[in-house]
Structure 1
Amino acid sequence: MDLQNLLKLRTFLCIITISLTTLATETLSADSHFEACIPRSCGNGPNISYPFWISEEQESYCGYPNFQITCEGKNPALAISEDSFIIKDIFYDNNSLLVVNADVSEDDCPTPRQNLSLDRTPFSLSLVNVNLSFLYNCEERPEYHTYPVSCASNASFHSFAVFHKEGLEKTNYSLDSCQSSIDAPVYINDDVDFASLLEMNYTQVLSMGFVLNWTAHSCSNCNRSGGRCGFDNTSEFVCFCSDGSHPKTCNDGRGINWRAKLGIGFGAAFGGIIITCIGFFCWLRRRQGKVFFKSSFVSGKSSSDFSVMMDAEKGDSLAGVHLFSYEELQKATNKFDSDRELGEGGFGTVYYGKLRDGRVVAVKRLYENNYRRVEQFMNEVEILTRLRHKNLVSLYGCTSRHSRELLLVYEYIPNGTVADHLHGERAKPGALPWSIRLEIAIETAEALRFLHASDTIHRDVKTNNILLDNNFSVKVADFGLSRLFPTDVTHVSTAPQGTPGYVDPEYHQCYQLTDKSDVFSFGVVLVELISSKPAVDITRHRHEINLSNMAINKIQNRALHELIDPSLGFESDYKVRKMITGVAEVAFQCLQNVKDMRPTMEEVLEALVGIQNEDYNKEKAEDMDISADEVGLLKSGPVPLSPDSVMIKWISGSSTTPSISN
């Protein structure tokens, strides 16, 4: 064998050795990535995992660059733009976290920054926050509950913080008397006692923090397969597993046990070297020195990952739903003209629009096009496509989920919301008589009964989500939070859910929303219908800020007449009085703190229809006496009894399984 052939053989053997070494190195490296990205914490704080990473204890490939966390003592700190925030909790299931500005805990008299800059960051303010408004250098201090800011006040000017700034105008206080104002977001958990809230100072209120949403590649599939998310050297998302790295999950078939992988690799490589050498020498002899060594690197396209590449709009989840182009809906709404705004929901602004075929529609424009919004967008499309009912709003179509913006197109319901007519811009004394209110209650109950019979929880029942047509017929809307009943719950979410004033009190004990949570929210709606009062009003007495608490207190103290809207004729019309009393009893049952003591929506509907159809004895009207005993309803007790005037048998308080009627 000549020298040239020997050199070629040596080169070939080196290539085999390098390949084998690379295989072993990559496998061990992948395993070290899995160990390096184990969730950690700063002291007693929440577990830190993808997309977050702790700079002192983890490698940067364990999370996104903008999600770097530093441990300041026992507190995890996150830097966003030029601000530093202490993380109080992280809700991975909902891509949100509870934070408080670091200045609040460090400064005796902190003042909010003029603007919280979140532009060009993966973070955004959650809609569950409420604004605590800071008004500076005001000529007068209002006769309204405020939080004094003493460090920014003097003998001539007052500075203070206040919730519900608009409420000041109701007291004829002029906001123009203040030189400047700043709004600071605050998240008020429903289990916070409002009496305690009003007794706090503004620093304590700010210390409760606020909720931020984030946008990042979902790690749920990787987590469920036992992996840990991160990034490889090319900044591509990867799932680190005990047997190596995978594109998406540990079960995608691209990895085996690393020790077995090494054994197989070494064995295959060693056997390959021997066989190749023998063949190489035989070939050289046959060629008799006429060696022609040619390396061929075969490159072929790997099969596409159809679960990623497939256009979801061709799948079952959007089957039968018309897809509108963004340009078509932009034209239909006159470029989303602010003059065409119909209102704002929990997830987006709704605009009046007119399609090319002449149909008048309502176009919902979602606030953000991030992972969480896409999930809610797809969820609403799926539910409204699958469920059809005369009292549910109809979905005409939507844009592609890959569109420039997420847009949903509904039938246009022209008469506003129930909230508008009860205590909003359309509210006028006597304009919504009792007969219409009772019919609204019944039709809403029919819609919710239908949802529950279809194994669906609405999860955001409120008067702002109950639309009315010109005949005051109900159309229940906004299914972004809706979910199917869970059949195998292995974990719970502690992230904020629903709307303050309507949220099931049991949610903050078990962190689960059930069909009985919808029942509680509907109980609040019933109280709104009989009182014309909003579900939350911070201008009311501290014990009555939540309408549900106010209703329970009035009923138990035999003062129902103090709750009822005077324009309904409760004091003068015997039949109206008896019907409202019956509805109040139903609401009382719906508002029980323990969910198993509440009725099902099937039973609520039965009770309301019974109240509407009951043949009231008008002769009693002649002897009508609005006494405290008759107006008073149920007294407090461990187990509320069924009210006599409601011909219905409630579920036994001993039941522990939600009853779903079909």
Structure 2
Amino acid sequence: MGLHWVFHIINLLWLTKTLAFPAPFLPRKGGDCVEECGNISIPYPFGIQENCWLDTSFAIDCNITRGHPTPFLRHIRLEVLNISLPENTIRVNNPVFYSNCPGRKNSSGVNLGGSPFFFSYYNTFTAVGCDQQAIMSDDDSTIWGCKSTCDPGSQDNICNGTNCCQTSIPSRLRVFNVTWNNVDADKGQSECAYAFLAEQERYEERYTPTLAYASAVNSSGCVPAKLGWTIFHESYLSNFTRDRSFSCDTFVYYINGSSEVQCRCKWGYEGNPYLQDGCQDINECNDPKVNRCGKSCVNTPGSYRCDNRAKIAIIGVSSGIGLLLLLIVTWWLYKVLKKRNNRKRKEKFFKRNGGLLLQQQLSSSEGGVQKTKLFSSKELETATDNYNENRVLGQGGQGTVYKGMLTDGRIVAVKKAKMVDEGNVEQFINEVAILSQINHRNVVKLLGCCLEIEVPLLVYEFVSNGTLLQHIHDPNEEFPLSWEMRLRIAIEIAGALSYLHSAASIPIYHRDIKSTNILLDEKYRAKVSDFGASRSVSLDQTHLTTLVQGTFGYLDPEYFQSSQFTDKSDVYSFGVVIVELLTGQKPISSTRAEEGRSLTAYFVQSMKENNLFEILDPQVLKEAKKEELVAVASLAKRCLHLNGRKRPTMKEVAGELEGIRISQGGSTIDQQNYEEAECITIEMNEAWDTTSTSTKSCFDIGIASSLDVQPLLLNTS
């Protein structure tokens, strides 16, 4: 009798606990895995329990927070708001970053590195504040952001740069952190400002950010953002290769060679493409919005059809010749309509991909239209074997490059851009317009483009021997770059830039000179490439005022501070390439001492201490004359001067390099001790949670991190 009461009390205690704390998830009917946490569905490859997820990257913790079950991604500790299998996205609560806001503690950032997740292009970066520059950074040492001006009396409801600024994010962003710079240092400490990354469809640009985000910013300190994901385990799909109810896109990334997939149910199916038989056929006959057959509708796998055989037989018997005539007329109308629809479709894509803008720019150039061919989509599909993955030469932020062969036997490189939106059309067309005006043997030649399809295409001459970066930092042991080849390559690059600056019909600033944008052909001749960031200027202009864009390590410090790009900014970037050729070292490296992480600072300091020959590449030191090396190094130092006015022009640089080669080191280069100017040094610690800005005498713009730092893309557009 006593034992009976013990069990009764235990049951009452269990019931009391259940009523006080709701169950964190609901069991799936007929299965062993739990599919819900509170009112949020948790589909595979995600899971709450052991053996219910694809791997631990997709593990979900269902915790009791705020009095109800709440799901969190286990490894990155972000609250899950929704998971969408059709979009391959997961909606999470993303933290807000604050500056000078009393009572608000700044976030330490979001790091998705090592996970299959990345920030989706559905998100937009927004910074709200007065005279603030919000700078973001990721794990590839890439930084970008936006800058706002101050107008306390502004009543503008659009985030257009006054009291608020917005910008898009780069592709596949994995680390999100924010640092702040006060635009007007004379005003002292700035007012409260905050920045965040949020999904675009929820926070439309047309609303006032201060009002639209006030609720989320002042309450939870988080805003909804969307993460995309890919599956690293492509081999698990081997059991489904014969299943035609779903399809998977495979992405092979040239950076690390990893293979990732995203899957979705095909049209006419719905469900989970990551499960065996997870995509089930939709019965279109039960949906009046889809069914156009009425009672004669017959469902088929992935589609439906109309069973009108009896009616067709009656019409065939009674109509005879009339039916035959009707078929002929129908066939003719079909051909006419198909031709018209194809023409309209091509016209639509042509306009959307910037065709009218391209025509306007080419018509204003001298002979540009004759130099640029418009390829048909069919011609380029044949050339690339329908864009076969085996033809991929490389992938980057702006698109994928395929190797192709035209009908006349020419080998070409076909650049397939990403989906072009209004923000990217101008950059895409800019590259076409600029390259169409250039005719130089050391500049990659643009053969033409195709704008009549959904994704625009550029066709270049094929350059077969890779990038200068590969030959400097991963040399071929059987055929390394000799000093003679390095000097010739430097002369060829300088000649091409001199042509762009002073010999072209309209001066052109490249704006992103670096060793990855220098290609080598089969004879190791240099070809300057990638003009997506370039700008042409009128003859009476001395500089361009733009949002800062370039690659960290090659970026002109003067341009970084003033946002004014001149021809001398290209000279600075070229000076970094010369130092790479001399030393064989990367522009930014964490393997060097902290004060020498910037190659330019390390190089200038070594020359100042008369230690030049200690930092040179052994191959260079072995083959070149010392006088020749001193002359080239002195020229590089002049190119790297912090005061752009004291740098030589590219025409002068090309002439001096040619003189050094001809005289075999006999040229006399004026070696002066140029006074070093002050530059901004941006230092980031290992935790990525603090950014300090200091002013000191240096050439260095470095990053103190435990990570191996790579060249940065500084893109604030």
Q: Which structure: greater strand fraction?
A: 2
Q: Which structure: greater helix fraction?
A: 1
Scaled by the length of structure 2, the TM-score of the pair is 0.46
